[in-house]
Amino acid sequence: MRFTPFRAAPLLGAALLAACGLATASSHREAPFIATVPKVDATDFYMFRSYEPGRDGYVTLIANYQPLQDAYGGPNYFSMDPNALYEIHVDHNGDAKEDITFQFRFRNKLANVALPIGNQQVAIPLIQAGAVANAKDAALNLGESYTVSVVRNGRRSAGAALVSNASGGATTFDKPVDHIGTKTIPDYAGYAAKHTYSVNVPGCSMPAKLFVGQRQDPFAVNLGTIFDLVNAPLDVITNPALIGAAPNTIGDKNVTTLALEVHKSCLATGDDPVIGAWTTASLRQARLLDGTPTAGHQTAEKVGGPWVQVSRLGMPLVNEVVIGLKDKDRFNASKPAADGQFATYVTNPTLPALIELAYGQAPGALAPSNLPRTDLVTTFLTGIQGVNRPKNVVASEMLRLNTAIEPVPFEQQNRLGIVGNILAGGNDNAGFPNGRRPKDDVVDIALVAVMGGLCMANGTTDALGFGAACNPAAVPLKETAFKLHDAVDQAVVPLLPAFPYLNTPIPGAK
């Protein structure tokens, strides 16, 4: 396999996942505390130039929450937490602090539908009393709605302004009920489409799009096998012919999506086209449980005090396989500007050593030897020079996107993003780690990078500037580093061709 210094440089982006490591469904209950409050657990975060025809001037931001939703998970299903604050943050000057924050707050209203039983009106036990086709349908017993606020210059700054519906000016939006089943909602795709809004964003002259609702989980991964100490033969995960040999472990799961499509001019300001973004969820510091709750919906909990961040997600896979178990809750509560406290997990990642243990190999038999991993530090914390590094950057973990790089049509997208672009000699620089698209196979990119793909591209001449130690001599898996995969093909996951891009959720009953 041949690499040239000029074309290999973007491969540096693959290292962003090298630090993030192997393969898990991104942030699915990855930290001890968040496993106890799944309604505020962020599963994946996406940011990319919109590739829907005619929308290429826009950036799509997608934050998924509530992991591993079984479609049959009634009778309550997966409403969002009205006592939580869900946020998407954007940094447009590289200082590791949010300049624009989109805040989502939810309200769940019980209609208290009752049926005449004898001479009594008796409340029903379900969230629906018949077929549902429209927002605020009379058959819905539980209606979900939400607001979106825009805050500038710090998430807790004053002056939050509400996003409004471009049609009529309303500032409260309806969320579709989850896909209970085809008898309740015969045309879920049509029903959900009625909940996609054209909106006006304060401070932005271009209209945006907004959707919040259940979607099929777009992530693909061989989850159980990976967590079971990579329970697959090495000759399987290094055979390109077996990229799609295993079923997608979470192919039958849904998630809840917060999606915004905002014009790039509203996100990238000044003369720097690079933006960084991440999503967080926060809960009130105090929670009081009422042992004798009154009639209603979610009345057993009273909350108060300041917001406390309990979930954080930018790059995929970080908290699962980079951050040590003892610091996972700490990472979820942290902000990008304080990421120096986690630097050792990047400079001296444990994942390559764990892979060696999993395969019964001696230390150094499989893991790259260029320690400390300055190649990973550069890409993981600053972005790639000439690709998605801000002009002035503070080292910090977040998903970064160069909004000046044109999007690539879905059919032409390389599932390995920039890594695949280099290997194939193509022109797809719009994929991970320059942002992240739903089709990008971040698991396979991570495997390639963590086991030395960067150093193979760097060469003995230090073409990428990461020190002489980062060269092919540091890579025990020289012949197979670029063939690594988890046997699940991200590229075959069903997606939509337009906003909100993620597929219609799986029904509870067909």
Question: DSSP labels for 43-89?
Answer: EEEEEEE--STT-TTEEEEEEEEEEEEETT-TTT-----TTEEEEEE
Average pLDDT of span 436-445: 93
pTM to 2 decimals? Answer: 0.92
Q: What is the band of 161 on the pLDDT scale with cuts at 50, 70, 90?
A: very high
Residue from 352, 252, 316 nearest 64 by CA: 316
Nearest one of 495, 494, 504, 484 to 235, comparing CA atoms: 484
Identify the CA nearest to 65 among candidates 40, 90, 48. 40
pLDDT over 70, % of the chain: 93
The 10s digit of each residue's pLDDT in 232-274 is: 888 888 898 999 999 999 999 999 999 999 999 999 988 999 9
Query: For residue 464, what pLDDT is reported?
Result: 66
Q: Rounded to an integer, what distance in angstroms lies between the CA atom of residue 458 and that of residue 43?
A: 32
State the pLDDT confidence band at 367, using cuts at 50, 70 and 90: very high
pLDDT in tens, 180-201: 999 999 999 999 999 999 999 9
Q: So what's the pLDDT on residue 418? A: 81
Length of the chain in terms of residues written: 510
Q: What is the pLDDT of residue 177?
A: 97
**Strands ordered across the beta sheet of 253-263:** 42-49, 58-70, 253-263, 208-216, 197-200, 164-165
Question: What tens digit of pLDDT does each residue of 103-158 get?
Answer: 999 999 999 999 999 999 999 999 999 999 999 999 999 999 999 999 999 999 99
Per residue in 286-305, pLDDT (tens digit) is: 999 989 888 888 878 899 99
Separation of alpha carbons 470 and 490, rounded Å:
29
Give dist(CA 190, CA 303) in Å, integer. Answer: 37
- Rounded to whole angstroms, the Cα distance separating 3 from 8 reads 6
Q: Which of 221, 253, 218 is nearest to 23 (CA)?
A: 221
Give me the pLDDT at residue 381, please.
82
The pLDDT value recorded for residue 505 is 98
Query: Parallel, antiparallel, or unpaired for β 142-152 and 161-162?
Result: antiparallel
Residues 365 and 355: their CA atoms lie apart, in Å, by 10
Q: So what's the pLDDT on residue 220?
A: 93
SS3 40: helix
Which pLDDT tens digit goes with each residue over 5-52?
A: 323 333 223 333 333 333 334 556 788 899 999 999 999 999 999 999
Please give the C-alpha separations between residue 360 and each of 18, 217, 232, 306, 487, in angstroms, as whole numbers.
21, 34, 13, 49, 21
Q: For residues 456 and 474, what is the distance between their CA atoms, to the nearest angstrom?
A: 8
Tokens read off for 463: 């073409």
Query: Mean pLDDT over all residues of the chain?
Result: 89
Check residue 138 and give its pLDDT. 92
- Asked if residues 132 and 185 have their Cβ atoms less than 8 Å apart, the reply is yes
Contact in structure between 173 and 208 (CB atoms under 8 Å): no
Question: Is it the case that residue 460 has pLDDT exceeding 90?
Answer: no
Digit-coded pLDDT (tens) for 321-360: 888 999 999 999 999 999 999 999 988 989 889 888 888 8
Average pLDDT over residues 446-461: 82
